[in-house]
């Protein structure tokens, strides 16, 4: 276990110094997975033979004097990314045997950077849940408490990192799918600016891997340190050669500041549409206090913040109109008749979801135009502030809930019940306008569960929230290895 929880930056330095080989690191990672993953079930597809071969190649390359950003570092990949010759299912039983013939662009970039892929991490059915379970691969549990979810849809990746299975992982995020699992498992993640990292080949089977511009979804890095997020983002970022040609170079601007005391921060911990749990509010306040102690300018409100209720409505409309667009005709017609029965005065998120699922193109364009007004509002806000710090979801990890009626599920926030998907409003705050957002650990709940917060930055200024995450890390503790919920289920596992 000596190397399992080291950062990728530390591993790269050790590999360069000859303190360890990639083969040794890979063997240790594989042993850790074989020992610890039976209870957690983070790695749904093991590619150990390929990993050992890649590690050997990495060591040989280093012996020849080569060096690359991730050369010889063990990593994992979310199940939804195509790897040639390995099944991609998105947890959908009809596609359990679908095998792509081409790597996703991000898998190609990982391998070009020298990474050693240990396997694929578990996801929910169609990536459409805040948990990670499906009929093909079963349920991923939280390494801190196996009765609770690791989050979704990048739940397998977050659990793998928290358990020490690889130093880095790549995931995706549309409704918090990178940030929520990071918050639930006590690790770091970064949702890049929309369009910064190409997603070609992260596509539901059996669709072809086309170079499409996604409306809300992004792909991004997950890690156990803030510095590792930057290391991996630099590998992932930059245009898809199919769309913009290799001549186009996107150089991200440097962070706005290098010292904590120079940052101007807006801190939010209340949302008009949903309660904030005590544990999450405490995490936000811990970060706010660390910022203030470091000399940053911290404000709790600003008239420049775009209306968060309208933002939640717009996010819900854009998200659910997209997710229902390919439903079978009979299901679509049922939704249409249900939406027609809604009272016009009903402005709840439940009603918004139902109406959005049967949006016309005219309806969608109206929502999209309002999104542009919000983007303009965020530009004005970011002239006065550098980042916004706020919750990712209102609670720490919740108990596994496999009720097949997702819209019938409820989330308990300190004794008050809300519709399950209402907890997405905080994640949507960054997703709807396409802003970068870094998820950072912010301590633990009274029950010992991890709590994270997100740092939202200006569009294409990803290095600003990433840098602040790095500056905060020593002040608020960063990643801590789970006291491994293993005692709970030890008797069952034996």
Q: Where are the beta strands (DSSP E) in 9-69?
A: 43-46
CB contact at 8 A, 161 and 121: no
Question: Does the annotation count 445 as an active-site position?
Answer: no
Closest CA relative to residue 470, chosen from 188, 197, 245: 188
Active-site annotation holder among 4, 7, 150, 177: 177
Q: Are 224 and 346 in contact (CB under 8 A)?
A: no
* Long-range contacts formed by 144-147: CB under 8 A, 24+ apart: 144/185, 144/186, 144/397, 144/448, 144/449, 144/450, 144/482, 144/483, 144/484, 144/485, 145/397, 145/447, 145/448, 145/449, 145/485, 145/488, 146/39, 146/40, 146/485, 146/488, 146/489, 147/399, 147/400, 147/488
Check: CB of residue 142 under 8 Å from CB of residue 148: yes
| Strand order through the sheet with 437-444 | 43-46, 116-121, 74-78, 168-173, 218-223, 188-191, 437-444, 450-456, 387-391, 264-267, 297-299
Active site residue 78: yes
Instruction: Answer yes or no: 344 catalytic.
Output: no
Which residue is catalytic, options 132, 141, 150, 153?
A: 153
Q: What is each CA distance from 273 to 36, 270, 460, 470, in whole angstroms?
A: 39, 9, 29, 31
Q: Which is the catalytic residue, given 22, 78, 172, 323?
A: 78
Helix (H) / strand (E) containing 323: helix 308-323
> What tokens does 394 get?
């209102």
Positions annotated as catalytic residues are 78, 153, 177
């Amino acid at each position: 276990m000596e190397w399992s929880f080291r950062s990728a930056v530390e591993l790269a330095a050790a590999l360069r110094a000859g303190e360890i080989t990639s083969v040794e690191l890979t063997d240790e990672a594989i042993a850790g997975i074989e020992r610890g993953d039976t209870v957690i079930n983070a790695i749904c597809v093991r590619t150990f033979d390929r990993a050992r071969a890649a590690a050997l190649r990495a060591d040989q390359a280093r012996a020849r004097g080569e060096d690359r950003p991730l050369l010889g570092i063990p990593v994992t990949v979310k199940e939804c990314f195509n790897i040639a010759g390995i099944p991609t299912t998105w947890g959908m039983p009809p596609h359990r045997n679908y095998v792509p013939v081409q790597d996703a662009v991000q898998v190609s970039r990982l391998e070009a950077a020298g990474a050693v892929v240990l396997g694929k991490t578990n996801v929910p059915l169609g990536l459409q849940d805040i948990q990670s379970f499906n009929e093909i691969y079963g349920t991923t549990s939280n390494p801190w408490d196996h009765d609770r979810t690791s989050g979704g849809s990048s739940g397998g990746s977050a659990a793998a990192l928290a358990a020490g299975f690889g130093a880095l992982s790549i995931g995706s995020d549309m409704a918090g799918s990178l940030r929520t699992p990071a918050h639930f498992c006590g690790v770091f993640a970064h949702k890049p600016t929309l369009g910064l990292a190409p997603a070609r080949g992260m596509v539901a089977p059996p669709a072809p891997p086309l170079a499409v511009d996604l409306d809300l979804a992004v792909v991004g890095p997950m890690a156990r340190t803030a510095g590792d997020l930057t290391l991996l983002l630099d590998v992932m970022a930059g245009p898809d050669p199919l769309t913009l040609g290799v001549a186009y170079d996107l150089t991200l601007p440097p962070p706005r500041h290098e010292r904590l005391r120079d940052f101007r921060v807006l801190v939010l911990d209340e949302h008009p549409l949903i309660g904030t749990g005590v544990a999450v509010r405490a995490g936000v306040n811990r970060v706010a206090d660390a910022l203030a102690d470091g000399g940053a300018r911290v404000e709790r409100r600003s008239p420049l913040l775009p209306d968060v209720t309208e933002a939640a409505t717009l996010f819900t409309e854009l998200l659910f109109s997209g997710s229902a667009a390919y439903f079978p005709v009979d299901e679509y017609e049922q939704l249409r008749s249900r939406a027609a029965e809604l009272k016009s005065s009903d402005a709840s998120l439940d009603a918004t979801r139902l109406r959005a699922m049967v949006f016309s193109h005219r309806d969608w364009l109206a929502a999209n135009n309002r999104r542009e007004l919000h983007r303009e509002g965020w530009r004005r806000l970011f002239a006065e502030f550098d980042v916004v710090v706020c919750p990712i979801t209102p609670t720490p990890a919740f108990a596994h809930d496999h009720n097949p009626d997702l819209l019938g599920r409820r989330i308990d926030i300190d004794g008050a019940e809300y519709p399950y998907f209402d907890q997405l409003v905080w994640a949507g705050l960054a997703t709807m306008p396409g802003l970068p957002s870094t998820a950072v650990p912010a301590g633990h709940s009274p029950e010992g569960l991890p709590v994270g917060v997100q740092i939202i930055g200006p569009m294409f200024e990803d290095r600003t929230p990433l840098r602040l995450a790095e500056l905060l890390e020593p002040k608020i503790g960063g990643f801590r290895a789970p006291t491994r919920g293993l005692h709970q289920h030890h008797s069952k596992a034996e």
